[in-house]
Amino acid sequence: MKDRSSHRARVLRYGGEAGARVDDQLAAEEPLELRIAGQPLTLMMRTPGHDRDLALGFLFGEGIIRTAEDVKALTVVPNGEHPDLENVIDVELASSAPGVDRRWQRNFLSASSCGLCGVSSIEAIHETAPPLPDDDLAIDPEVIYGLDARLREEQAIFARTGGLHAAGLFTLGGQPVAVREDIGRHNAVDKVIGYATGHGLLPLDRHILMVSGRTSFEIVQKALQARIPVLVAVSAPSSLARDLAQSSNQTLIGFLRGRSLNVYSGRRRIRS
């Protein structure tokens, strides 16, 4: 299967007095439909590549599976109109999966209209993903300072297109475990957590998650569900992301730029 993560385009580039036609690369954005036992679950826009990781990470984040063993089969459904595309995945759940009783149908119905926000959202999340326990982590600041460069080293598609988000799972010593790119920042995180799910690495309570952009409430939630204690971002968190991290005993770091960063929550995990 050919690499569909980017598409060639001809553009008119201006850098001087006259424009010149040159080749460029655009980050791909295509739909992926996820089904359970043939029934549509969700349709997401994503950058093709590591779709299995994306499916596993999404299912884990929605509480439909806990481990890779909860998935009996994961099949790419042929697209009759476009046989070169792989944009439908059908999942067969094992009897052990929390979502095998089709509770996911009710959860998706209620999530679309529940209107939860603020404190109510945090309390709801803690019902299934409680705050992290205290631990003995003491991370060297030098490790954190080096994460941005390590993440960029792994961003091959971004290097071609300049148009993708990235998420990276790192050891406490700063070694990359998995780095994934996607047009959607939440998809990139799902791909990383899906990789961990598929390789039996959960819970990720001895790991760091690094994201290339800002930190949203949903990204903090996904990290909490995977039991990730430290979340680092190049940009700022939202106010609700900070609130969730603080109430969940997570370390939240933003504005990592060279040897400068802001700690919004959980500073005790950063070695003095």
DSSP-based three-state secondary structure for 8: strand
Mean pLDDT across the stretch 86-109? 80
State pLDDT tens for residues 51-73. 999 999 999 999 999 999 999 99
Query: What does the block give as tokens for 153?
Result: 């080293």
The whole-number average pLDDT for the span 184-205 is 97
Whether the CB-CB separation of 34 and 180 falls below 8 Å is answered with: no
Segment 12-29 shows an average pLDDT of: 82
Residue 80 above 70 pLDDT? no
Please report where in the chains the tokens 């063993």 appear, as a residue. Answer: 69
State the average pLDDT over residues 80-106. 81
- Which member of 22, 109, 111, 114 is catalytic? 114
Q: How far is CA 42 from the centre of its chain?
A: 16
On the question of pLDDT at 272 being above 90, the answer is no
Look at the block and give the residue holding tokens 């091959």: 156
Q: Is 117 a known active-site residue?
A: no
Residue 89's pLDDT is what?
96
CATH number among 2.60.40.1150, 3.40.140.10, 3.90.220.20, 3.40.50.11540, domain 132-269: 3.40.140.10
| Residue 117 DSSP label | -
CA angle in degrees (0–180, nearest 5) for 69-77-30: 100
Contacts of 228 (CB under 8 A, 6+ apart): 204, 205, 207, 208, 209, 250
Q: How confident is the model at residue 165 (pLDDT cuts 50, 70, 90)?
A: very high
Residue 199 has pLDDT above 70, yes or no: yes
Residue among 195, 247, 255, 196 at smallest CA distance from 221: 247
- Of 22-26, 118-122, 234-238, the one with minimum mean pLDDT is 118-122
pLDDT of residue 104: 59
- Which of 21-25, 112-116, 137-141 comes out lowest in average pLDDT? 112-116
Confidence of residue 113 (pLDDT cuts 50, 70, 90): very low
Is pLDDT of 102 > 80?
Answer: no
pLDDT digits (tens, 9 = 90+) for 210-222: 999 999 999 999 9
State how far the alpha carbon of 60 is from the alpha carbons of 16, 97, 184, 218, 225, in Å. Answer: 50, 10, 17, 14, 8
Beta-sheet pairing, 176-182 with 19-27: unpaired
Residue 91: pLDDT over 60: yes
CA-nearest of 34, 80, 84 to 58 is: 34
Q: What is the rounded (10 degree) CA torsion for 22, 179, 190, 7?
A: 20
What are the structural domain ranges in the chain? 30-126, 132-269
Q: Which of 87-91, 105-109, 150-154, 261-265 has the lowest mean pLDDT?
A: 105-109
Q: Domain 30-126 classified CATH 1.20.120.1200?
A: no
- Does residue 109 carry a pLDDT above 70? no
Mean local confidence (pLDDT), 82-89: 79
Q: Are domains 30-126 and 132-269 of this chain identical in fold? A: no
Predicted confidence (pLDDT) at residue 183 exceeds the cutoff of 50: yes
Minimum mean pLDDT range among 107-111, 201-205, 262-266 = 107-111
Cβ atoms of residues 210 and 115 within 8 Å:
no
